[in-house]
A and B are shown apart, each in its own frame.
Chain A
């Protein structure tokens, strides 16, 4: 039983086939990477999984449950979290506030309790804070805790995106181009973190990536897309030596 399955999913915008009959399965505990040129439909697949788009046809199955019609705000409580390619953090809030929003799907308090701020709410807040602090320690964001996002450098914002997704305590983590815009050192750190997420936290990672060295380093399996269609699928070395993939994307 795979953790997450995509069956014959298609997304058509009028005549444009952003995603054309794509199928794959992600096993529990692995790092699965999707590669392909720009416009191949990789982020569209992520948007389909987060239910920000509705597929034209096909199904999505998570833990043997059909999630094709689930509304977008229920995806987080199911255990799927994502980061965004062009950072969607809350600009006017501190890092801590952003991460605490990540805990929203674990809210236990009702609005009446919150308006009066009963002791149960205070206890819940402290519990959320402790959970968030663990993620901050994991990713080394201590010194940025109280700073507003608007003043932070790009590399730190990328890490905050991942941190916020981790705060939801997901079973499946969708990383959209985690290393884009990062320098060599920051990409190294990202590679270590992805491996730690897989090994220490036991979270399955589904990733879109362009940096082939990062892909080779952390991925267990790779899927190559072009023009919305699947080109090849398998281990990193298998996909990278596939003639279609070399012709469409890798070159050389």
Chain B
């Protein structure tokens, strides 16, 4: 078990607390840099989706994890970023201009949305963001001049600088997404260790005390929304290029829920949660395909090996295949996962990882009841 002897205030401000982190993150960086040259096309594509979802997860962690403002409408910000990119690209604007422009425009919309949200807390804010999501979806379908309505919009490959293209399957695009994710994470971490980040967390925990300590609630809530929206806007541009075709029915409430699931599954207590959650969510689709295609044959061959009759083995295999192929399976799985994580893993995958790490650090002195949840009673949140 490592003991960190603190001799300098700087140690609490530094991002990487001790040398062990240099090694572990270094190895991770090396592996990720190597990935496009080693992994096949399908896995690489999924990894790019992980990055995009993780970027939105980071932005949601800033808004919900740091500032406590729950948003179920982030698909709307993604849509705004994506459509801005598509529209400006069709006007001939180069990538290096419309990438930051999409962030700025989405941030501006976030600022506008934040102003009515200032008065709303808890459940009212959730409902308002759902309403916002629906309105943006409808606008995307009706504003045909800009978004081509329900027909959708084709997005051509990104043109980095004159001549250098970034087609969506090439390593170049992969590194662009990875770079954006790293930039977003570093921004969020910088925010967390600065006065603004502390003001955000003060707003989350006690608005009254934050007011008395000099935190201008309105200003900081607007800042939080703006930053979160801007980062999601950037993810929107990458999303548009990755799919190379966007239409309003891609940006529904279900997508917003997937983003919230990213932080519920990953854990709201740290930025690692955003990445872990993204990995989990993106893995669900391949998992279902696996369930449909490979698992039945696997199970049936196992059963045959254990001496079961051929009929029963085939029957089991086909029923598992049917379950995997059932049309509503994805929704049911989402529902089960959300409920499971909320009841059993309130701190998400990252929380579980920290608990496991603690177990090994304290070994053999770890007590099973270290994280036992105290019985809490419902206290009215109307008077927060």
Contact = CB atoms under 8 A, between A and B. Distances in A.
Physical contact A–B (CB less than 8 Å):
yes
Interface of A: 50, 52, 71-77, 81-82, 84, 88-93, 96-97, 100-105, 107, 109, 111, 114-117, 121-122, 124-126, 128-130, 133, 164, 168
B212 A75 contact: yes
B187 A164 contact: no
Contacts, number: 106
Contacts of B197: 114
A97 B206 CA distance: 14
Nearest to A114: B194
Contacts of B216: 71, 73
B205 A92 contact: yes
Nearest to B189: A117
A96 B187 CA distance: 22
Contacts of A90: 201-202, 205-206, 209
Interface string B189-204: 0110111111101101
Contacts of A117: 190, 193-194
Nearest to A73: B216
26 contacts: A50-B211, A52-B212, A73-B215, A75-B212, A88-B208, A89-B209, A90-B202, A92-B204, A92-B205, A97-B198, A97-B201, A101-B199, A101-B201, A109-B195, A111-B196, A114-B190, A114-B194, A115-B190, A115-B191, A116-B190, A125-B13, A125-B194, A126-B10, A129-B12, A130-B9, A168-B214
B213 interface: yes
> What band does the interface of chain B fall in when counting residues whose beta carbon is under 8 Å from A?
20 to 34
Contacts of B214: 73-77, 104-105, 168
B217 interface: yes
Interface of B is mostly: helix
A104 B205 contact: no
A90 B195 CA distance: 15
Given A101-B202, A111-B223, A82 B190 contact: no
Contacts of B125: none
Nearest to B9: A129
A128 B195 CA distance: 10
A26 B212 CA distance: 20
B210 interface: yes
Nearest to B8: A126
A82 B212 contact: yes
Contacts of A52: 208, 211-212
